[in-house]
């Protein structure tokens, strides 16, 4: 007879001997480790991802695919880069110097021109309709690559405003593979142990919780319980690595190089997380939806991104980390070539661009192109499914041979109707 999911009096019985037996296993010590040492170790352990999300829509015409001296080109020039023949917007002078580490895709043609649909579709890879909610790329990587030996959460999201655990990113993979969001780059609330509690008492409390969790999980579906246990365990690991959040240890030179603006501070925190061995680090920047006053808006935001992004690429290269770290910078769509009555650019999924680099990516490559006015893609169009295939391949994951297991239901990790951009792969 199937057991009821409801609690019974027996479930609340826990002997003193069981409790003391469990707590006898407790005990841990915190270690202070040099970030450069951790970066060297991370290089040996596996692939990582830095995913820079420019929420609202970076203008391709003011970034990776400028069209100066055309009806829709705007006031900014195109400048040469460290790769002969490749020109990008003058708003990206620092990234131009790093172009030999990067690849551009200028042939993106996606479907949704609303934020609510575009953000979800782009970050989930738009698989065929399977009747389930697919995971964001960060959750997919957390599932497929795991957390390595760092002991830290495999998916950390550095973002403005509030933080906390974000289970929705995980889709059908279950809340365990959600993102741990660091609001304004700060440690989660209540992470630190209360001063009134000793380390030994904290260990005993956690062991008691684990024992009760095990009792509760008998003959029950365990997704929620596993996620709760996972969050507690990750919090314990983060307590041991409180040094990651100590901004006083950043060198003044690095702070200046990355920029004292929000995206600069957050990108520097992201670098530390990568150095510590976090598998997937996402950095979000808001405010890119320039329906009005586009040229002043993008003219202010793009240089801030440029400063932080170029510093990150340079540092990852110098540390040898770019060899095993996939770097992606993108939005949910681009912006219209035509300038509206408010001197802004609206949403434009029909022809836009992204930049990527690092492990598995061909350096200095440019995939596709738009027509002379930048209105539409002039070569083969590429949807987000093509990019998911490309990114998985770059990380050493074969989408044709790798499947998710959704409670016995095999599901593809990327859209079967798409294929990788071989021109972008090393």
- SS3 state at 176: helix
Residue 78 has pLDDT above 90, yes or no: yes
d(CA 51, CA 336): 24
Alpha-carbon distances, residue 324 vs 154, 319, 357 (angstroms): 15, 11, 10
Question: Where does 46-151 have alpha helices with state H?
Answer: 93-96, 115-124, 137-145
Residue 221 has pLDDT above 70, yes or no: no
- SS3 state at 425: strand
Query: What was the pLDDT predicted at 65?
Result: 98
Alpha-carbon distances, residue 43 vs 98, 277, 425 (angstroms): 21, 9, 20
Closest CA to 54 of 375, 385, 352: 352
- SS3 state at 61: helix
User: Which of 201-205, 242-246, 400-404 is modeled with the greatest confidence?
Assistant: 400-404
Question: Where does 9-64 have alpha helices with state H?
Answer: 16-23, 35-45
Query: What was the pLDDT predicted at 17?
Result: 44
- Crossing angle, helix 223-240 and helix 199-217, to 10 degrees? 160
Residue 317 has pLDDT above 50, yes or no: yes
Question: Where does 169-283 have alpha helices with state H?
Answer: 199-217, 223-240, 252-258, 262-275
DSSP state of 170: G
d(CA 20, CA 89): 65
CB half-sphere exposure, 124, CA atoms < 13 A? 22
Query: What was the pLDDT predicted at 31?
Result: 29
Q: Which residue has the tokens 């150095």?
A: 275
User: Which of 22-26, 160-164, 220-224 is modeled with the greatest confidence?
Assistant: 160-164
CB proximity list for 318: less than 8 A, separation 6 or greater:
none
What pLDDT, in 10s, does the model give residues 99-152? Answer: 999 999 999 999 899 999 999 999 999 888 888 999 999 999 999 999 888 889
| Domains of the chain, earliest start first | 33-189+241-424 (3.40.720.10)
d(CA 191, CA 176): 18
Residue 200 has pLDDT above 70, yes or no: yes
Residue 6 has pLDDT above 80, yes or no: no
Share of the chain above pLDDT 90, in %: 69
If pLDDT is split at 50, 70 and 90, which confidence band does 222 have? low
Q: Are the C-beta atoms of 101 and 357 separated by less than 8 Å?
A: yes
Residue 302 has pLDDT above 80, yes or no: yes
The two tokens of residue 343 are 């001197």
Say which range, 164-178, 275-289, 364-378, 380-394, has the weakest mean pLDDT. 164-178
Mean pLDDT (whole number) for 252-267: 97
If pLDDT is split at 50, 70 and 90, which confidence band does 337 have? very high
Say which range, 115-119, 143-147, 184-188, 309-313, has the weakest mean pLDDT. 184-188
β-strand 347-348 against 334-335: which pairing, if any? antiparallel
Mean pLDDT (whole number) for 40-55: 79
Query: What was the pLDDT predicted at 224?
Result: 65
Q: What pTM, to 2 d.p., does this model score?
A: 0.86
Residue 217 has pLDDT above 90, yes or no: no
Mean pLDDT (whole number) for 252-278: 97
Q: Are the C-beta atoms of 152 and 278 separated by less than 8 Å?
A: yes
Round the average pLDDT of the chain to a whole number and report it.
Answer: 88
Query: What was the pLDDT predicted at 30?
Result: 28
Share of the chain above pLDDT 70, in %: 86
Query: What was the pLDDT predicted at 227?
Result: 67
Distance, CA of 230 to chain centre = 19
Closest CA to 236 of 271, 277, 199: 199
């Amino acid at each position: 007879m199937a057991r009821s999911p409801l609690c019974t009096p027996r479930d609340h019985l826990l002997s003193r001997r069981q409790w003391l037996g469990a707590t006898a296993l407790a005990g841990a010590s915190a270690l202070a480790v040099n970030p450069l040492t951790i970066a060297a170790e991370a290089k040996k352990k596996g692939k990582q991802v830095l995913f820079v999300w420019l929420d609202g829509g970076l203008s391709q015409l003011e970034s990776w695919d400028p069209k100066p001296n055309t009806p829709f080109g705007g006031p900014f020039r195109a400048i040469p880069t460290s790769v002969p023949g490749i020109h990008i917007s003058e708003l990206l002078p620092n990234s131009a110097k790093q172009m030999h580490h990067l690849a551009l895709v200028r042939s993106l043609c996606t479907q949704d021109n609303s934020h609510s649909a575009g953000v979800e579709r782009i970050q989930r890879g738009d698989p065929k309709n399977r009747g389930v909610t697919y995971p964001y790329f960060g959750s997919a990587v957390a599932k497929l690559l795991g957390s390595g030996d760092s002991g830290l959460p495999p998916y950390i999201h550095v973002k403005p405003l509030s933080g906390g655990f974000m289970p929705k990113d995980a889709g059908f993979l279950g809340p365990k593979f959600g993102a741990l969001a660091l609001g304004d780059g700060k440690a989660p609330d209540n992470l630190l142990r209360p001063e009134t509690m000793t380390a030994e008492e904290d260990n005993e409390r956690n062991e008691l919780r684990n024992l009760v969790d095990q009792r509760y999980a008998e003959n029950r579906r365990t997704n929620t319980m596993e996620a709760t246990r996972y969050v507690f365990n990750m919090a314990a690991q983060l307590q041991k690595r409180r040094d990651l959040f100590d901004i006083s240890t950043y060198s003044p030179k690095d702070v200046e190089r990355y920029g004292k603006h929000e995206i600069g501070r957050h990108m520097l925190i992201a670098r530390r997380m990568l150095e510590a061995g976090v598998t997937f680090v996402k950095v979000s920047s808001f405010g890119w939806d320039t329906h009005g006053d586009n040229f002043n808006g993008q003219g202010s935001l793009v240089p801030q991104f440029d400063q932080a992004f170029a510093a990150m690429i340079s540092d990852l290269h110098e540390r040898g980390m770019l060899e095993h770290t996939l770097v992606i910078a993108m939005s949910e769509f681009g912006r219209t070539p035509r300038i509206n009555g408010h001197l802004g650019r609206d949403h434009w999924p029909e022809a836009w661009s992204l930049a990527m680099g690092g492990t598995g990516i061909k350096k200095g490559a440019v995939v596709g192109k738009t027509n002379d006015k930048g209105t539409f893609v002039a070569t083969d169009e590429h949807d987000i499914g093509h990019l998911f295939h490309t990114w998985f391949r770059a990380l050493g994951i074969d989408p044709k041979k790798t499947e998710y297991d959704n409670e016995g239901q095999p599901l593809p990790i990327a859209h079967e109707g798409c294929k990788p951009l071989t021109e972008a792969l090393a």
